[in-house]
Amino acid sequence: MKYRSTRGQVSGQSFESVVLEGLAPDGGLYIPEQLPSLPADWQTAWAQLTFPELATELIALFVGDDLTHDEVSQLVRKSYSTFSTADVTPLVPLAAQADTHVLELFHGPTFAFKDVALQFLGNLFEFFLARRNAREPGHRITVVGATSGDTGSAAIYGLRGKQNVDVFILHPRGRVSAVQEAQMTTVLDANVHNVAVAGTFDDCQDIVKQLFGRAEFRRKYALAAVNSINWARILAQITYYFSAYFALQRQHGARPVFVVPSGNFGDVLAGYYAQQLGLPAAKLVVATNANDILDRFLRTGEYRKDSAHGVVATASPAMDILVSSNFERFLWYLARDHEVPGGDADAAGACVQRWMDALRTEGAFSVSPAALAAARAVFWSGRCDDAQTRATIARCYAHEPAYLLDPHTAVGVHVAQALAPQIRALGDVRTVCLSTAHPAKFSDAVLEAVHDSGRELDFGAILPPPLVGLLELPRRCYECSNSADAVAQHIVDQLG
């Protein structure tokens, strides 16, 4: 199994190298050169596997000779032993909406879907570094990541105390929830460094990419990526699409329609890879908030920054993103199959590079009608504003039995309801809405939604024990201007 960059200048990379590098030297994202084939009998042979067993089988298909099957199994079991339920990502019915289930992805240590990938990635970093140091001592990495809220805490919890790893997490100051900020900044381990940037998540993400683009700085500090630009993040998330499919088969025997709250596109991209591997998902639905670049693309074929308004602050802050970085991976497949002659991989990379250049210089690019039609064949989309988000939270909590949604999940549930007639027309299907975070992480938005509906909510009764008293704990965080130079200097000051 080898990997190439979406921008065409790098290929033939091993799984270990793409995990430790994160971002390709040409600025692109790593993708498999070829997708593996599932076993012919996977639908029966895997049907009763536990989540860790299923993850082992899927991940093992993508690692080549870099990990044995037993090593994958050990890493996976260690990673998911931190979850509060043996199912890891349980599928539960949503009584307020017909034929709809919620895939709960928030049972990890930071109560967000990012834990599914980042617990695994943290252990993967540690394993590869330990193996390299056993051969030749002196290997370390400096993880630099940007977060709109949940990635930061999940990365920190996955990497805190890890040997030979320093982690710097950038978050937009004042643009994450109080719980999200506290989860990050109250971790005082010596290898953890929080940086509050005076800007937006997109600014933080741009700074990370700029640092990776500085070849000497990247080499000196052995920069590694923890955002979903790192292929291992996407790979780990493929498992819960298969897990949900098998759970749905046991309950109903129906095909799933996955509805995914989407900001940076990594979560739903994992669903795309699952479908390309052979998972019989009837449709993938991209659900956006007011920061709707993905919905606009799927309606028009134009990928355009909404530069007039910038990033809109919403009740679902983890999705407050102007440009979805992971969309580049999907664009590569559109380019290969619909924009260049003969499906040439290098030509597809050059096409993606032109699109990314146009996005940087002109703020937009467009794909061909054939490429747009192909995208629409895979993805539907919808948009949800804050009023609709609050109304959806209130509606699902008012229905018996009550279900309390976090604002991001509410975006997905609203879009699923809006598309219900089209979904029903697909035949024997059930809607699976991915629940990306525990509602306790967004207490202000949830309480406002419930109280506006005239109901009461004892938030203390649903607060997970690890979050009790979190806001009162000591913190450590460095405040920084919106500048790659300033962040780079902070890293130098901390590491020498």
Determine the longest span between alpha carbons in the chain, in angstroms.
Answer: 64
What confidence tens digit (pLDDT) does each residue in 75-102 have?
Answer: 999 999 999 999 999 999 999 999 999 9
Q: Smallest Cα–Cα separation from 273: which of 305, 317, 228? A: 228
- Cβ-based burial of 355 (10 A; exposed 0-12, middle 13-18, buried ≥19): buried
d(CA 323, CA 325): 6
d(CA 79, CA 63): 17
What confidence tens digit (pLDDT) does each residue in 28-53 have?
Answer: 999 999 999 999 999 999 999 999 99
Residue 316 has pLDDT above 80, yes or no: yes
Task: Tell me what pLDDT residue 310 has.
Answer: 84
pLDDT tier for residue 207 given thresholds of 50, 70 and 90: very high
d(CA 114, CA 458): 27
What confidence tens digit (pLDDT) does each residue in 391-448 have?
Answer: 999 999 999 899 999 999 999 999 999 999 999 999 999 999 999 999 999 988 999 9
* Euclidean distance between the first and the last CA atom of the chain, given in angstroms as a whole number: 37
What percent of the chain is modeled with pLDDT above 90? Answer: 92
C-alpha torsion 289→293→296→298, nearest 10: -100
Residue 358 has pLDDT above 80, yes or no: yes
Task: Tell me what pLDDT residue 496 has.
Answer: 86
d(CA 235, CA 266): 10
Provide the CA 478 distance to its chain's centre, in angstroms: 25
What percent of the chain is modeled with pLDDT above 70? Answer: 100
What is the average pLDDT across 272-288?
98
Task: Tell me what pLDDT residue 70 has.
Answer: 98
d(CA 271, CA 378): 10
Task: Tell me what pLDDT residue 306 has.
Answer: 78
Task: Tell me what pLDDT residue 72 has.
Answer: 98
Going by the DSSP 8-state scheme, the letter that residue 400 receives in this structure is S
Residue 309 has pLDDT above 80, yes or no: no
Q: Smallest Cα–Cα separation from 225: which of 310, 327, 117? A: 117
pLDDT tier for residue 307 given thresholds of 50, 70 and 90: low
d(CA 316, CA 412): 11
Identify the bridge partners of residue 478 per DSSP, sorted by sequence position: 195
d(CA 115, CA 256): 23
327-to-97, 270, 323, 430, 458 alpha-carbon distances in Å: 30, 11, 9, 26, 39
Task: Tell me what pLDDT residue 452 has.
Answer: 79
Give the residue numbers marked as catalytic: 114
Going by the DSSP 8-state scheme, the letter that residue 95 receives in this structure is T
Task: Tell me what pLDDT residue 228 has.
Answer: 87
38-to-44, 116, 277 alpha-carbon distances in Å: 12, 22, 7
Task: Tell me what pLDDT residue 227 has.
Answer: 86
Amino acid at the residue 181: E
Residue 111 has pLDDT above 90, yes or no: yes
146-to-181, 287, 321 alpha-carbon distances in Å: 13, 22, 12
d(CA 265, CA 21): 20
Task: Tell me what pLDDT residue 268 has.
Answer: 98
pTM: 0.95
What confidence tens digit (pLDDT) does each residue in 479-492 have?
Answer: 999 999 999 999 99
What confidence tens digit (pLDDT) does each residue in 240-250 have?
Answer: 999 999 999 99
Task: Tell me what pLDDT residue 453 has.
Answer: 77
More confident residue, 442 or 455: 442
d(CA 267, CA 312): 21
- Cβ-based burial of 104 (10 A; exposed 0-12, middle 13-18, buried ≥19): buried
Task: Tell me what pLDDT residue 29 has.
Answer: 97
Amino acid at the residue 262: S
Mean pLDDT, the chain, integer: 95
- If residue 147 lies in a helix (H) or strand (E), which one and from where to where? none
d(CA 182, CA 472): 9
